[in-house]
Chains A and B, each alone.
Chain A
Amino acid sequence: MAKLRIQYENGDPERVIEFDPKKAPFHHDGKPGSILDIMLGHKVHLEHACGGNCACTTCHVIVKQGFNKLGETSEQEEDLLDRAPGLTPTSRLGCQAVITDPDAEIIVTVPRYTINQASESAEE
């Protein structure tokens, strides 16, 4: 079984999901087998304002362990990540980062801020 450990920058309790990647999709948003798909399918919330269509950055996660175990990044994902607040070298969009390795142990952090538009950032 693969394992996805989710940590929250805002201090929310950690969540751990054990899953069989072969059983993807687990939900209906994001790429099948993506971090978003896995989380939603196990009733762990992750924002996805665009419906998991790689059109925003609200599902931005920072991969702390297992970055190389994830599927490749597309140019579209890179273009969006360029505009994500708090971008790091191991940032991914949850809707695009697919886990296929059945032995993968992935740790991600959900950033405190995932805003990606001007008016909301001005309010917060």
Chain B
Amino acid sequence: MSRPTTIAHVTRIHDHCEDTRSLFLALEKPLKFAPGHFISIAIPLGDETRTRPYSIASSLDGGRAIEICFNRVPNGRGVQWLFDRSVGDALEFTGPFGTFMMERAPEVEIGLIAEGTGVAAIRPMIRRALESGSQARMHLDYAADRNEHILYREELEEWTRRASNFTFETLIAPQEVLYDRLSAIAARRWIDADADRTRQFWICGVGAGVSRIRDLLRGAGYERRAVHYEQW
């Protein structure tokens, strides 16, 4: 049984910096998705088509348009194909998919941890929580290897001004120590600071560092199902 596909057209391109881009896509039919979901884009490469996942970086907003955000990776032929798209080009995807999502904000303090473009999945979660009037305290620790890789900074700052329950801090660190430092921050903020273990977490990033933070939090007494993560 093949899954239904959705056709989308590129309506706008935004370069966050020289190696990180957002595509804004208009959809031929409305898409229902939850904050955190991803879509699987069919990417033609030579004589085959590969499936590559991209988090939906935008909110539902009627479901007729979405944003995806991605960066260049070494030997990343799939992402290069996306960089080669122009306004008006069509692409085809299936989904949304994923178990990493926040359909509604929990009534407990929320810890959000993102690295680089991993914030794409976290961003609609924050927006959904704020728009729903959630009073849960929500803090984002957002790490990147360079200042320009902190995406959506102005929006995040605007949210901190508008909502007293949302705060965020950034960490700039070389990639090889980035997760060490992010783990240290998580330990200080969410483990050593108090004995509260009722919080819930959403963590999104690249590589085994995500699992290390997961293990850190679970090992400190947080419920397994309170620590949500997506490791790309």
Contact = CB atoms under 8 A, between A and B. Distances in A.
In terms of DSSP, what is the predominant structure of the interface of chain B? mixed
B53 A55 contact: yes
Contacts of B97: 49-50, 56, 58, 116-117
Contacts of A53: 53, 231-232
B172 to A, nearest CB: 26
A80 interface: yes
Contacts of B31: 119
**A interface bracket (residues with beta carbon within 8 Å of B):** 20 to 34
A94 B100 CA distance: 19
A115 to B, nearest CB: 9
A14 interface: no
Interface stretch (B33-41, B66-74, B142-150, B155-163): B33-41
A54 interface: yes
Interface residues of B, number: 30
Interface in A73-124: 75-76, 79-80, 83, 112, 116-120, 123
Interface in B93-126: 94-100, 103
Interface string A60-84: 0000000000000001100110010
Interface of A: 10, 28-29, 47-51, 53-58, 75-76, 79-80, 83, 112, 116-120, 123
Interface of B: 1, 3-4, 31-34, 37-38, 40, 50-53, 94-100, 103, 211, 214-215, 224, 229-232
